[in-house]
Every structure is written in structure tokens, then in C-alpha cells.
């Protein structure tokens, strides 16, 4: 396959050297497998249901979805970056390259559509919401997972303090806990938000914080203030994170996730 979009073009991911250090997301307390946790507690996947994971990337949610929906369920992973679909086990889900704003499925195809940390990538979100509504069966549900604008405020503070020109570069404000409801209501009348605030990232090594900034460099560096430089931002973030760790034992990063449920009558 040939990638229609690269990670750098479409996903909030950029390659960084393999340092052997953990990602900040591997340092979450309490430890949590979000994939299994959401399906166990909040996302309803009836046995044998038809499920679309829209914007699935490499399909991280699909094995957990299969475990819940069972062997008789029909699972489909869809993504624009079709090279990422190669990571999906064909025994878990079928793979479709496509655009969430022009879904290649008939009306009323799916019982559940998942949009997990992806709607903020869409250029015009109401188009995607309308398409999801179209392919849902009556009684079906969209589950859209995102973050609050206030999530990871500690990283945002480092970015702004050392040259960042605006908080938007750090966040997902296009579709967040605060902005997602009105966007979903462009097609759905029944929309609910569940906020999840019971975890944080507890980082004992300042270099893990630096690694996260380097991972996001392609989106953060263009947002620097005039005269600010990337090396200066990195050194400032490293210095402040080290000082916090020396004082408090860890650099703690707050989390605030949001799970929207939008139901079709």
C-alpha cells in the first residue's frame, strides 16, 4: 500500500530517536489500558454488533472491541493514512482506506461508530459528524473520545513560558470537551459528555518531558513567538522540569479526558 497521508501530515505524531525511555503516557497513574477500560466501563458494544472505528490509525482499539463484541461481530477499521492500516490484524477487523467526511458505506450500516482521539484532525468536523450519523442504524451510537482544553496544562505552561505563541498548538481545541458538544449537535440531538479526571502522568525524568516536546516538534515549532528558537524552548523545558522533579520527586501532568456519546433515534 502507499500512504495517502504520512503521520507528519495527518497524525499528531513525529519520529524521534529511540531513547529507551518510556513515553509520558506509559507513566500514567493509576496504570490504565484505555482500550480495555473504556469498553469495560463506558462504551457499549453489543455482542454481534457492526462496529466502525473511524480514523482508527493502526487499530489500537480494535482488539479490545473484538473481545467485547465477540467473534460474530463485524469490525471495520477506516483511516486516511492507509499505510497504518497494515498494522491491523485481518482476523480482528477488516481494513478500509477512506475519509470520514465521505464514508464508503451505505446508509444505516453500523450499530456503533468509534471516533477515538481523531475528530480534531478533520478539516471541517460537521461533515464527518453528518457522515457518521448517516451510516449509523436507528438506535446506534457514536462514541467520540477526546481531551479537555485544560488537559496537560503543565506542558502548555512550559511551552508558553519558553517561546510558545499560543496554547492552541498544544491542544485539540477543534474538538475538545469544551467544543465537541455543539459540533456533534449539528447532526445529533442526543449528546452526552462524560469527563474522566481520575488519572495523571507522573514523570520522574525530565528527559521524558523533552521527548514529548520533540515528538510534537512539527506542530509546536511553527507556533513559536518571533525570535524564539526550538533549542531554547527545549533547554528551558528541560531546566524547569528538572527543577520540579528535584523539588517534588516527579513532574506531574494533569489529565482530563472526555467521552462523548451521541445517539441516533
Residue 37 has phi, psi (to 5 degrees) of -60, -45
Average pLDDT estimate for 205-227 = 93
Its CATH architecture, for the domain 22-263, is 3-Layer(aba) Sandwich (3.40)
Distance CA 24, CA 40 (A): 24
Q: How confident is the model at residue 14 (pLDDT cuts 50, 70, 90)?
A: very low
pLDDT number for residue 20: 84
Q: Are 120 and 175 in contact (CB under 8 A)?
A: yes
**How is 34-60 classified by DSSP, letter by letter?**
HHHHHHHHT----TT-EEEEET-TTTT
Distance CA 193, CA 175 (A): 12
Residue of 176, 141, 178, 147 lying closest to 51 (CA atoms): 141
pLDDT number for residue 171: 63
Q: How confident is the model at residue 202 (pLDDT cuts 50, 70, 90)?
A: very high
Average pLDDT estimate for 208-237 = 94
**pLDDT at 5 > cutoff 70:** no
**Residue percentage of the chain with pLDDT more than 90:** 81
Q: Are 31 and 217 in contact (CB under 8 A)?
A: no
**How is 124-150 classified by DSSP, letter by letter?**
SHHHHHHHHHHHEEEEEEEEEEEE-TT
* More confidently predicted of 121 and 55: 55
**pLDDT at 13 > cutoff 50:** no
Distance CA 52, CA 162 (A): 41
Helices assigned H by DSSP within the chain: 7-10, 34-41, 62-69, 125-135, 153-161, 180-184, 206-215, 217-220, 230-248
Distance CA 222, CA 168 (A): 12
pLDDT number for residue 87: 92
Q: 3-state DSSP call for residue 13? A: coil
Amino acid at each position: 500500500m502507499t500512504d495517502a497521508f504520512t503521520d507528519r501530515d495527518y497524525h499528531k505524531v513525529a519520529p524521534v530517536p529511540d531513547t529507551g525511555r518510556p513515553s509520558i503516557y506509559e507513566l500514567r497513574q493509576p496504570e490504565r489500558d484505555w482500550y480495555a477500560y473504556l469498553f469495560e466501563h463506558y462504551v457499549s458494544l453489543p455482542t454481534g454488533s457492526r462496529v466502525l472505528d473511524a480514523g482508527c490509525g493502526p487499530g489500537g482499539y480494535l482488539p479490545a472491541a473484538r473481545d467485547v463484541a465477540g467473534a460474530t461481530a463485524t469490525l471495520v477499521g477506516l483511516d486516511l493514512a492507509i499505510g497504518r492500516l497494515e498494522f491491523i490484524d485481518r482476523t480482528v477487523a477488516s481494513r478500509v482506506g477512506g475519509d470520514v467526511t465521505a464514508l464508503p458505506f451505505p446508509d444505516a450500516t453500523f450499530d456503533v461508530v468509534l471516533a477515538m482521539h481523531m475528530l480534531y484532525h478533520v478539516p471541517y468536523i460537521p461533515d464527518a459528524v453528518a457522515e457518521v450519523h448517516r451510516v449509523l442504524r436507528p438506535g446506534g451510537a457514536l462514541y467520540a473520545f477526546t481531551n479537555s482544553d485544560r488537559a496537560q496544562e503543565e506542558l502548555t505552561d512550559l511551552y508558553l513560558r519558553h517561546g510558545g505563541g499560543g496554547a492552541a498548538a498544544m491542544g485539540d481545541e477543534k474538538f475538545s470537551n469544551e467544543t465537541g458538544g455543539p459540533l456533534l449537535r449539528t447532526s445529533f440531538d442526543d449528546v452526552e459528555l462524560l469527563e474522566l479526571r481520575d488519572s495523571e502522568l507522573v514523570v520522574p525524568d525530565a528527559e521524558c518531558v523533552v521527548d514529548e516536546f520533540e515528538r510534537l516538534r512539527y506542530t509546536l515549532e511553527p507556533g513559536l513567538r518571533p525570535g524564539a528558537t526550538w533549542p531554547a524552548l527545549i533547554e528551558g523545558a528541560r531546566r524547569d522540569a528538572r527543577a520540579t522533579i528535584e523539588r517534588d520527586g516527579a513532574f506531574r501532568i494533569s489529565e482530563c479526558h472526555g467521552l462523548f456519546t451521541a445517539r441516533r433515534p
